[in-house]
Amino acid sequence: MTHRCNENETQSELVYDDLSDAPNNTCDENEFSDSSDILELSDVIRHRRNLSKKYNISSESEDSEVEADEPIIEEWTNEDTFPNLEPFEGICGTTSLQRNCSVKEAVDCIFGNEFFQIISKETNRYYLQNVHKYKAIPKQGKWRNVSCSEIKNLFGIFILMGQIRKENIKEYWSVDPYLATPIFSKLMSSNRFEQVTRYLHFNDNTKMNENSDRLYKIEPVYNYLIEKFKTVYTPHQNLSLDEAMIPWRGKLKFKTYNPRKLTKYGILVRVLSESQTGYICNIEIYCGQGKKLQDTVTTILTPYFGYWHHLYMDNYLIL
């Protein structure tokens, strides 16, 4: 069957798919002041209606001029035409780890001493800047500077709290034989835990201004981890680009709402991952500051340009 259309005829149209992960405009305007920025997704997503189109432009020679009114002939076929793909030129695998490394070696490779030094430094700085604002708690004792080893223990406690659920924080240090979990008191005392978490910080507040990014408070550790994700491991050829939602119902200016998702409230994240293992190669958090989707996609993909990766993205073509 042959279908004729004019050269200027639009071949596809902008649509919004009910199954899309993109947020929509059904959120409460009073609760989310930046929800209008999310609607930019529909302006840059073009639905590919038919992947089996084959276009043939009739011409007598390559040098002949095609008149403006000459129609373009579309030939519809049931067979897919596969493009000529360049061979993959990337070198896959870990860059600084042995194949049979231990869990501790793998963790140390990503969360090195530099990571914990950033947190301990900013926590101690925040204490000096705000000690006069908080009422001293006698039972917690005199403040002493937080060390890297204490920050490691603190993060270990946070992870264990996600695995062992109790009614309140105090119960993790309970000496009741029916409730006791000795590992917590071995890592850190209850008073020291409250003292450190009160002043836990990741960046210098005194350098923050009205032009600072909305992720300023976590910027040092966020940038550190992103750089580690990109350098510790080199992905294989097949990559997946998708959106993810980090559940969050607390107070946050760039919190998003999507009634079509299982997790309706949360932080929207664009994620580039390896299809084979699910390893996260790069991410970018949506902050509702007017950055266009195509700019976000370009930023995420830039470190992997030139290696001829295969990129998979649901059923959408991002222009």
Per-residue pLDDT of 40-87, as tens digits, reads 444 444 444 444 444 443 334 344 444 555 666 667 788 887 778 888
Cβ contacts of 52 within 8 Å, gap of 6 or more: 76, 77, 78, 79, 80
Of 19-28, 63-72, 226-235, give the lowest mean pLDDT range: 19-28
- Judge whether residue 281 has pLDDT over 90: yes
Confidence bin at 315 (pLDDT 50/70/90): low
Confidence bin at 25 (pLDDT 50/70/90): very low
Average confidence (pLDDT) over 206-217: 91
- Judge whether residue 6 has pLDDT over 60: no
- Residue ranges per structural domain of the chain: 22-92+235-319, 104-207
pTM, entire model: 0.69
Average confidence (pLDDT) over 100-110: 85
Residue 141: predicted pLDDT:
78
Buried b (16+ CB within 10 A) or exposed e, 209-224: eeeeebebbeebbbeb
Average confidence (pLDDT) over 137-159: 90
